[in-house]
Structure 1
Amino acid sequence: MTADLESEAVEGAEPGAVEGEEPDPELTGPAPQRWRARTATEMIVSGLVGLFVSFKLSIEAWELAGDPGLDLACDINSSISCTTVAQTWQARILGFPNAFLGILFEGIVLAVSVAVVAGVRLPRWYMRCVEALYTVALFFALWLFTQSYFVIHALCPWCLLITLTTTLVWAGLTRMNVRDHVLPGGARLRWFVASGNDWIITVAFLVVLAAMVLVRYIV
């Protein structure tokens, strides 16, 4: 009976903790600066790629506005075509090219990421606002993907890259906010993130998206 109780106590303990000891603060407490800087650097790389693609899409939208019959370099066939996607209403959900929103979103997250690398700890309310804003960006990017995949039946390679970078930036931002106690979550969740297990979810999600593209448009 005593052995059973001791076993239950160990099983119920927080990950990374030994019975009678507190969980490792390195894994469940606020993230150390070196970890935050590394995560922010990953966000900067993805954000810069996203910013470049957003500018590229903005230029192409401008060119198409002047010449609707223009064939873009990323027009491979009827299924892989930037022109086909760019000429739909979904590409101008607010009345102007969606790429302009991409420039806004990437600019904000890049500014935050650079500040984090420099060692700045922004207020919790500010990071929550950034989290909310970029969550909107992620859902918007995924909505555009589903529209292209299920409704338009054509994919834009640049837009696929935006979906990839937006997912990676959101994952990094959320990872950081969980560890810094900006977002609600217990020690188990912070341990899960600090141990790098969240990457499994991110990679699995991206693999599913890639498989969808390969099955319908390439294989």
Structure 2
Amino acid sequence: MSEIVTPRRPIVVAVWLIFAGVIGWWAAFSLTMERFHQLQNPGEAASCDFSVLVQCSTNLQSAQGAVFGFPNPIIGLGAWIAPIVVGAALLAGARFARWFWALFWFGFAFALTFVIWLIAQSLFVLSTLCPWCMVTWSVVIPSFFVVTLHVLREGVIPSVRVREVADRLFVWVPLMTIVAFAVVAMLAQVRLNVLAQF
């Protein structure tokens, strides 16, 4: 009698999605509250305004802070619920179809693209570093790596070789994240001379 093999639950992926979702949602909530405060108290500095360089106000009040006609953080309030729910479902033993993982990955691909654009706008146009925005960047970037490799491991691309490579690369997510953060930090230093501000 052959043994029934039960697919292992992706615990690390599930826990990360919940953690990243909570952190991302809190950053979006905090930025949304800051925007409400600005609207109620015009001209008053936000609580996350620490200096000319490190502040939220410039970003929130800019055109880049409301790309779709409403404050960007509102996107985060809705979007960050998805990884929390998916992570909880994975912990509960849920299995998702390939099309679901493809759509989930597309959401994170859009998030990463949007974050890269916002990073460029912050560094090269607005010349500021928004604290809560940076928190968002810090969870979107590794989440994209995690979701991409997990989706490939799940067989969205039906290739045994691709699944094997993705499985091997998964342990390198922390290093990939550090490299990505280092690139952003280097750009910030070159463009804004961050170290001279402290």
Task: Judge same fold: TM > 0.5, yes or no.
Answer: yes
Question: Residue 64 of structure 2 corresponds to which residue in structure 1?
Answer: 90
| Residues 1:188 and 1:139: Cα distance change in structure 2 (over 3 Å) | same
Q: Map of 1:149-164 to 2, 5 A cutoff?
A: 149-164=123-138
Q: 2:114 aligns with which of 132, 140, 163?
A: 140
Question: Residue 117 of structure 1 corresponds to which residue in structure 2?
Answer: 91
Do 1:134 and 1:170's aligned partners in 2 also have CA atoms closer than 8 Å? yes
Question: Residue 14 of structure 1 corresponds to which residue in structure 2?
Answer: none
CA distance in 2, matches of 1:60, 1:94: 18
Question: Residue 65 of structure 1 corresponds to which residue in structure 2?
Answer: 39
| Backbone CA RMSD of aligned residues | 1.9
CA distance in 2, matches of 1:205, 1:117: 28
**Which amino acid is 1:203 matched to?**
I
- Count of aligned residue pairs for this structure pair: 187
Q: 1:206 aligns with which of 178, 181, 184?
A: 181
1:76 correspondence with 2:50: yes
How far 1:199 sits from its partner (Å)? 3.9
| Residues 1:44 and 1:214: Cα distance change in structure 2 (over 3 Å) | farther
Task: Give the alignment's TM-score, normalised by structure 2.
Answer: 0.86
**Which amino acid is 2:125 matched to?**
V
Question: Residue 46 of structure 1 corresponds to which residue in structure 2?
Answer: 20
Higher relative contact order (CA 8 A, sep 6+): 1
CA distance in 1, matches of 2:37, 2:158: 47
Q: Which has the larger radius of gyration?
A: 1
Describe the superposition over 1:168-200 as per-residue Cα deviations: whole angstroms up to 9, x where unpaired.
222221121010012x27444433332223443
Question: Residue 145 of structure 2 corresponds to which residue in structure 1?
Answer: 171
| Residues 1:100 and 1:198: Cα distance change in structure 2 (over 3 Å) | same
The alignment-based identity, stated in percent, is: 28
Runs of 4+ in 1 over 6 A off after TM superposition: none
Describe the superposition over 1:94-116 as per-residue Cα deviations: whole angstroms up to 9, x where unpaired.
11110010112111121111111
Describe the superposition over 1:40-65 as per-residue Cα deviations: whole angstroms up to 9, x where unpaired.
21121111100111110111111111
CA distance in 2, matches of 1:189, 1:201: 18
CA distance in 2, matches of 1:192, 1:78: 45
1:218 correspondence with 2:191: no
Partner secondary structure for residue 197 of structure 1: helix
Higher mean displacement: 186-195 or 48-57: 186-195
List alignment gaps of at least 5 residues for structure 1: 1-31
